[in-house]
A and B are shown apart, each in its own frame.
Chain A
Amino acid sequence: MREIEMQPELEQPEQQSPPEQQSPMDQVLQHVAAEVLETMFFTEAELADCEHTWLEAASSARIGFEGSHFGEMLFGLSAEAVDPIAASFLGLDPAELTVAQRGQVIQELTNILCGAMVSHLWPESRLSIASPELTSWQEWAAEGTLHRCFAIPEGRLAISIRLLPRPHPPGNES
């Protein structure tokens, strides 16, 4: 049977716990989301209740990372927020956006969030981050997943991040 090397699990976030009871990883997630959205997208993200009906129509992207830690992140942005967020980033009017630009901004936002997140979580690590891919939102199993929803003035966003079993290279199977 092939052995799979297990990695340290992500700590489970407390549901709606006060800030002082939130895990360090949860705090990092919130801090990074706020910093990224304020710095390059000129908007303010606040923690929000997880109500997921909007995610079906959301624009989402998935991004993987590997190295000293192996895992992936999923990002979803509510449909009504896509145009204002993309326009803010590019300094355009929403009417000037192309379809391609909308998708590319979602991908780049996912990329920046993931990179900032893993750099904050594991600053001493050695990591490479894959290219983000547009996808539809997936509900990952709660166990082993750090997940948060946020409200921004333009709409909502959701972030899930999880570590995965690291596959061994071929030849190590017993």
Chain B
Amino acid sequence: MAYSVLIVDDSPVMRTFIRRVLALSGFEVGECTEAGNGEEALAMLSTHQVDVILTDINMPRMNGEELLRRLEADGVLKKIPALVISTDATKERILRMLALGAEGYMSKPFTPESLREELERVLGDRNAGDRNATRA
């Protein structure tokens, strides 16, 4: 199954980093779209089929928390799993984002391998591929 991924982060190079991890992780990524803030993300979601959202929090115009709030309020969009990837690792923020329906929370800095693991947990490892599995 090919996943369509939406990456939401105001840093173009962080979006590139995440895109690279996706490509190297063994997931079959169909379409990978990007947005620089929550507003752009909502616009993307109105025109693209998205299977998973990876979102930062601190962004101009509309931050990740407001984005999640809007997604949660939408009967269709709330079903799309969202993984938060943020520098904000304060306890209250993490709890609020999880309460808003985030499937997981990764704090920056993170290694490519740890993002892969978290993606596997959120997506399931159906498409991780044999090359990433060490059989016991």
Residues of chain B contacted by A124 (CB below 8 angstroms): 90-92
13 pairs from A and B in contact (CB 8 Å cutoff): A39-B111, A40-B108, A40-B110, A89-B13, A89-B17, A104-B13, A111-B87, A115-B89, A119-B87, A123-B89, A125-B90, A130-B58, A131-B60
User: Which of A40, A108, A120, A127 has the most chain B CB atoms inside 10 A of its CB?
Assistant: A108
Is the C-beta of A21 less than 8 angstroms from some C-beta in chain B?
Answer: no
User: Which of B10, B12, B88 has the most chain A CB atoms inside 10 A of its CB?
Assistant: B88
A108 to B86, CA, bound (A): 11
A118 to B93, CA, bound (A): 13
Q: Which residue of A lies closest to B20 (CB)?
A: A91
A119 to B107, CA, bound (A): 10
Q: Are B108 and A112 in contact (CB under 8 A)?
A: yes
A39 to B111, CA, bound (A): 6
Is the C-beta of A107 less than 8 angstroms from some C-beta in chain B?
Answer: yes
Residues of chain A contacted by B93 (CB below 8 angstroms): 126-127
Residues of chain A contacted by B63 (CB below 8 angstroms): 128
Q: Which residue of A lies closest to B93 (CB)?
A: A126
Interface residues on B, range: 20 to 34
Q: Are A101 and B58 in contact (CB under 8 A)?
A: no
Instruction: Give min CB distance, A116 to chain B, whole Å.
Output: 6
User: Please, what's the 1-or-0 string for B57-90, where 1 marks a CB less than 8 Å from any CB in chain A?
Assistant: 0111001000000000000000000000011111
Is the C-beta of B122 less than 8 angstroms from some C-beta in chain A?
Answer: no
Is the C-beta of B11 less than 8 angstroms from some C-beta in chain A?
Answer: yes
Instruction: Give min CB distance, A111 to chain B, whole Å.
Output: 6
Residues of chain A contacted by B11 (CB below 8 angstroms): 104, 107-108, 111
- Give the dominant DSSP class at B's interface: loop
Which B residues have a C-beta under 8 Å from some C-beta of A? 10-14, 16-17, 20, 58-60, 63, 86-93, 107-111
Is the C-beta of A36 less than 8 angstroms from some C-beta in chain B?
Answer: yes
Q: Which residue of A lies closest to B92 (CB)?
A: A126
Known: A104-B12, A108-B11. A40 touches B58 (CB 8 A): no
A120 to B107, CA, bound (A): 12
User: Which of A91, A119, A125 has the most chain B CB atoms inside 10 A of its CB?
Assistant: A119
Which A residues have a C-beta under 8 Å from some C-beta of B? 35-36, 39-40, 86, 89-91, 100-101, 104-105, 107-108, 111-112, 114-116, 118-120, 122-131
Residues of chain B contacted by A91 (CB below 8 angstroms): 20
List 14 extra interface pairs beyond A90-B16, A108-B14, A112-B87, CB under 8 A.
A39-B111, A101-B12, A104-B11, A104-B12, A107-B11, A114-B87, A115-B58, A115-B87, A115-B108, A123-B89, A124-B90, A124-B92, A130-B58, A131-B58
Q: Are A122 and B109 in contact (CB under 8 A)?
A: no
Q: Which residue of A lies closest to B24 (CB)?
A: A91
Instruction: Give min CB distance, B57 to chain A, whole Å.
Output: 8
